[in-house]
Structure 1
């Protein structure tokens, strides 16, 4: 515990940096995943094919490969940027495939009559999806979406391994490599601060699940 107390400011700064990565990646993954889910249930075959390809490629590709492509492949194509943004966007793209499937399962859980009624009153596919189907699907996607978000928080450690700097992974590496501290207490500190992110996230998602269950 003394190692954690002595280096508490460094751990806290790593916690904030990791939280930044998770918030940005989570928001981007939700936006992309929702769009991809709309493609997956679209009546247009090209859109369905695009959504299916997106999910199949990213969901079956290791996150490390996605991050390697973002960090080292894009610069070779002339696309330059910081490792922070490369890592965050790579994590978001990877997570978006799982978000897509969680939202699609919620869409499929909505009775087909709801979409048919929306079309009967003249709503387009986009309008019926956004105004009628998705609001009802949200109630069923909270548990699987929560699992995806918590997995994303843990996956953010891999982003730190690609030189983002300042996150919890980098804190552990700095304390063990640069300062020569014993690995076990340092890693215990890293684990505790990751738990400080995942446990509150799980409690919040559990609260949301109970709220939507009552609303239903």
Structure 2
């Protein structure tokens, strides 16, 4: 335990980097996921096929494989980017396929009559989606999105496997290599991850309650 206490700053730094990594990934995944969901529910067949193809392919590739492909494969064709943002991009593209399904299921939970009412008012399909459907579907998306954020946060530890050693798991591995106390160091890291997941769950529950009141 003394190792953890004497190196608490290292755990704090690793936790902050993990938060930055997870947050950036979730924002990218959310932005692209909404776009993909729009493609999936589009009346234009080629767009629906494109969205479906993306989701099918990305969900069928292990995240670690995609990370390895981006971090070690792109430099071979002359595409070199900062390691941190390369990892964010790979993870964002991966989780976008899952975020897409969260948004799509939320949209499909809105009664069809809402679509028809919007079109009867003279709104375009995009306006109906943006002004009527998406606002109503947000409440049903809160818990699935929170679960997805937890998955993103926990799986951000895979970034340490491709060289992002600044995040929590990477820092813990370096500390363990120095002191050879895996039980202590990785238990401390586990506590940090558990705290994060509990915080996300609490925030999601609070957001859901507030959404219910506003309705």
Q: Do the structures match in fold with TM over 0.5? A: yes
- Other-structure match for 1:210: 209
- Other-structure match for 2:72: 72
Counterparts of 1:48-197 in structure 2, within 5 Å, are 48-177=48-177, 179-197=178-196
Whether 2:199 is the aligned partner of 1:200: answer: yes
4+ runs deviating over 3 angstroms = none
Alignment coverage as a number of residue pairs: 215
Rounded to whole Å, the distance in 2 between the matches of 1:154 and 1:110 is 31
Unpaired segments ≥5 residues, structure 2: none
By how many angstroms is 1:53 displaced?
0.8
Please list the CA deviations of residues 112-167 of structure 1 after superposition, one character each: whole Å capped at 9, or x if unmatched. Answer: 11111111222111111111110011011111111111111000000122111211
**1:30 touches 1:99 (CA, 8 Å); kept in 2?**
yes
- Other-structure match for 2:37: 37
- Other-structure match for 1:27: 27
**1:161 touches 1:169 (CA, 8 Å); kept in 2?**
no
Rounded to whole Å, the distance in 1 between the matches of 2:166 and 2:76 is 26
Higher deviation after alignment, 19-28 or 67-76:
67-76
With normalisation by structure 2, the TM-score equals 0.96
Unpaired segments ≥5 residues, structure 1: none
- Other-structure match for 1:14: 14
Rounded to whole Å, the distance in 2 between the matches of 1:10 and 1:182 is 15
